[in-house]
Amino acid sequence: MRQNTGLVYLTEEVRNRPNLKISGEVLVDRVLFEQRRAVGVVTASGAEIAAGEVILSGGSYGSPAILLRSGVGPAADLAELGISVVADLPVGQRLQDQPFYYNAYALKSDALAMRPAVGALLWRQSSEARGDELDMHVAVTHLLPPEYSPTGGAIVLSTAVVKPDSRGTLTLRSRDPRDQPEIDCNYLATDRDARRMLEGVKLTRRLGRYPALAQFVELEILPGDGVGDDQLADVIASNLASYGHPTATAPMGGPQDPWAVVDSHGAVKGIDGLRVVDASIMPVVPSVALNPTTIMIAERIAKAVYSQEQRGSIEAPEPSAPTTARGDAQ
């Protein structure tokens, strides 16, 4: 049974631990520092929460926003907002997400039940794939609400370039934690990304017209039966969506990596007592969903840090419990 990680990990036994306190509906503003050591966080209401170690797990948008408000980020950008620089690091400069487009089809009136329900996932190589990478993903689902179809039923054949070259940015609009950051995913910024997306949509259109599926289809809603291949690139660009897999806004990397914000254990470079453990530290977006990948990263970092603390090879945090800042109000 598919379950929320909060339910699976935060069991009653865990919730009853004396060194754990869970506070809901808390919006984190920034990290508190003493010199170059994190010692807690400040909430949007002004409350201070002390910690021996601060772990940011606000996701690819929340964690970098907290870092930037805290003075960890590109010095020039922070100076424009009057934020004192704690560490000049390329936070928010390597955002990567997967462009997503779906063809929508109205089902025939005698095929609305669609039993069994349509559902398929296909990873494949585009004609411009590098090596053995599976850089294209096609999903067939009932994503479109039935009311959008003239027949009352619909399916979609979606395409995503899951190994894109394009990079975007995340920057602050202001110092106010309630002001959402400026997000520019910069989809299809490279010609190769645009060509692969076009190739994928042409493929899904062919699949939609294949007799085994076409027998259930009344018409193509998007991009529409009247749209030819010569118009398709413009239609895609005008109706592009996100696959919802943002990464790399605080990417991990080695000491000589100019784009690295954290190391392989999520520790922020040049800062003591501060880690980031979420999808933002993935340097490259994986071709699969981020949920299991993020869980794997968290498990490995937790195990590695605990093992090192047991061996005494790194400085253990002070006895107070770590503060995990999700960066949202949930």
Q: 242-268: per-residue pLDDT in tens? A: 999 999 999 999 999 999 999 999 999
pLDDT of residue 321: 46
Residues ≥6 apart with Cβ < 8 Å to 61 = 170, 181, 183, 246, 249, 327
316 vs 134, higher pLDDT? 134
Has 137 been annotated as catalytic? Answer: no
Please choose, from the candidates 268, 264, 275, the residue with its C-alpha nearest in 3D space to the C-alpha of residue 52: 275
Whether the per-residue pLDDT at 50 is higher than 60: the answer is yes
Nearest by Cα to 105 from 230, 242, 219, 232: 219
Side chain identity, residue 88: D
Per-residue pLDDT band at 313 (split at 50, 70, 90): low
Q: What is the pLDDT of residue 144?
A: 84
Q: For the chain, what is the mean pLDDT?
A: 91
Q: What's the confidence (pLDDT) of residue 14?
A: 96
CB 76 within 8 A of CB 93: no
218-227 mean pLDDT: 93
Residue 65 has pLDDT above 90, yes or no: yes
* Helix, strand or coil, per DSSP, at residue 142: coil
- Tell me, what's the pLDDT at 326? 45
Percent of the chain whose pLDDT exceeds 90: 81
3-state secondary structure 146-207: HHHCCCCCEEEEEEEECCCCCCEEEECCCCCCCCCCEEECCCCCCHHHHHHHHHHHHHHHHH
40-69 mean pLDDT? 97
Q: How confident is the model at residue 330 (pLDDT cuts 50, 70, 90)?
A: very low
Going from the N-terminus, what domains does the chain have, and what CATH number goes with each?
A: 5-92+246-325 (3.50.50.60), 99-168+183-242 (3.30.410.40)
- What pLDDT, in 10s, does the model give residues 175-203? 999 999 999 999 999 999 999 999 999 99
Q: What is the pLDDT of residues 11-42, one digit of tens each?
A: 999 999 999 999 999 999 999 999 999 999 99
Per-residue pLDDT at 114: 72
User: pLDDT: is 46 or 114 the higher one?
Assistant: 46
DSSP line for 260-304: -SB-TT-BBTT-BSEEE-SGGG-SS--SS-HHHHHHHHHHHHHHH
Instruction: Tell me the sheet residues that pair with 121.
Output: 139
Please choose, from the candidates 329, 270, 268, 277, the residue with its C-alpha nearest in 3D space to the C-alpha of residue 303: 277
Calculate mean pLDDT across residues 97-105: 95
Return the percentage of the chain with pLDDT > 70, whole number: 94
pLDDT value, residue 258: 96
Q: What is the per-residue DSSP string for 207-222?
A: HHHSHHHHTTEEEEEE
Checking if the pLDDT of 49 tops 60, the result is yes
What integer pLDDT is reported at residue 116 of this predicted model? Answer: 65
- pLDDT, tens digit, 9 for 90 and up, residues 132-184: 999 999 999 887 888 899 999 999 999 999 999 999 999 999 999 999 999 99
Handedness of CA 199, 204, 208, 213 (dihedral sign): positive
Output Rg (C-alpha) for the chain, integer angstroms.
23
**What is the distance between the alpha carbons of residues 87 and 85, in angstroms, rounded to a whole number?**
6
**What is the per-residue pLDDT for 279?**
98
DSSP string, 292-304: HHHHHHHHHHHHH
**Angle value at C-alpha 101, between 96 and 107, nearest 5 degrees:** 150
Residue 316 pLDDT greater than 70, yes or no: no
